[in-house]
Amino acid sequence: MSEGDDDRRSQLLQLKLGAYIDAALSSDAGVVAGSPQANGDLHQRGFPQGAIRHDSVVAYLLVDDPHERSLGPVLLWAARAGIRRAVVFLDDGEIAGRLARQCRDFTLDISVWMVSDDTAEVVEPAPYPPAPTPPTGAELDCATTFSDHGLDVSIEWGVPRGELLGLEVGRVVAEPTPHVETGVGDFDREISNMMRAGQTPEAAVASVVEMLHQYRQADAPPHPMRDLVVERWIRSLVIAEPSLIGCGELAPADLTLERVDLRSNLPAAAIGSDSDGVGVLVVCTAGLDVDLIPLTLDTLGMWRHRGSHIDRLLIVGDPRSFIEPQRLVAEWASTEIEFVEFQAPNRN
């Protein structure tokens, strides 16, 4: 996209945002007492995800092409700007409900509005995703193929996976009958199944593990197999030795988002207890994740909703993962967040 196209897009988004602000201010819900009563009272600002108009107190933000992780950039901007109230507009009802639910986790006065034509309405929070169906006995029996070859068995969203230092080597597939499929990611599993047709599951797993061992090591040279899903590598280390972060027992846990590929920048969660027996949720991260805080708090809320008694929340990651604006966003969290620095194993 050329610079001229960028300028035209920015102007169009500002016009849309102005119309949405007018619609919100004239709606039955209003916005808040003391909000600007005219768009002319607001400063206009560019925003990579859309457009912003604001004064020293309140900001109106249009999120263009919203997705499940759109709240993080909004909060990072608000933290840098020192805003005390944020009003977020978007046009996707399913995403709006998720973001509205996440907003409840912050003390910042923030609301999500759904816009359609010339109307704007406050969005009600969506419910948490339902708990998955646990694996069957037959599926768990299949998963012993992984543990028999020295792999960690991670069960997330009801699917048993075999992992080598956090990297998926295979998983148990339920249909048509429970069976093991090997490979790193969906595409690799499909190729592996064709290449290893006729092999026993045990032989297929052994072959993949042997190949990956040379790459998935802290002292190995740079390689995609070494550097994929480092956050899950960190999680595997703290689950194996919880005392590294002051915990007593940990197990893999679902996030409110399910990972769909190995290149997505998505943290990895574990649940258990600390060294004093207090319930704890641990979220491991690597690299810069601008939506880390909202997703972490949303996951905490989901586990509490499922009935888990969690009193501590730890975010564990490489020191470079914790930029100052993230710490400012964490100060708005309704639950205290403890940041635990942990050297990424592929950076030794």
pLDDT in tens, 58-102: 999 999 989 999 999 999 999 999 999 999 999 888 999 999 999
> What's residue 32's pLDDT?
47
Using only C-alpha atoms, what is the Rg of the chain?
23
What's the mean pLDDT when you consider all of the chain? 89
113 and 12, same structural domain?
yes
In a domain, 128, yes or no: no
> What's residue 216's pLDDT?
93
306 and 237, same structural domain?
yes
118 and 16, same structural domain?
yes
141 and 116, same structural domain?
no
Residue 232 has phi, psi (to 5 degrees) of -75, -30
Residue 34's pLDDT band, with cuts at 50, 70 and 90, is very low
Whether the per-residue pLDDT at 227 is higher than 60: the answer is yes
How many other C-beta atoms lie within 10 A of the C-beta of residue 194? 8
Cβ density class 310-321: b for 16+ within 10 Å, e for less: bebbbbbbbeeb
Average pLDDT over residues 124-128: 96
> What's residue 123's pLDDT?
94
In a domain, 218, yes or no: no
209 and 233, same structural domain?
no
Cβ density class 32-70: b for 16+ within 10 Å, e for less: eeebbeebeebeeeebebbbbbbeeebbbbbbbebebbb
The secondary element (H helix, E strand) that includes residue 297 is helix 292-305
CATH code of the domain containing 249: 3.40.1350
Whether the per-residue pLDDT at 211 is higher than 70: the answer is yes
Three-state SS sequence of 141-173: HHHHHHHCCCCEEEEECCEEEEEECCEEEEEEE
Distance of CA 245 to the CA centre of its chain: 21
> What's residue 116's pLDDT?
81
251 and 200, same structural domain?
no
In a domain, 251, yes or no: yes
Based on the structure, what is the number of domains in the chain?
3
> What's residue 59's pLDDT?
93
The domain boundary, picked from 87, 122, 157, lies at: 122
283 and 331, same structural domain?
yes
235 and 151, same structural domain?
no
Distance CA 282, CA 109 (A): 27
Which domain does 42 fall in, by range? 3-122
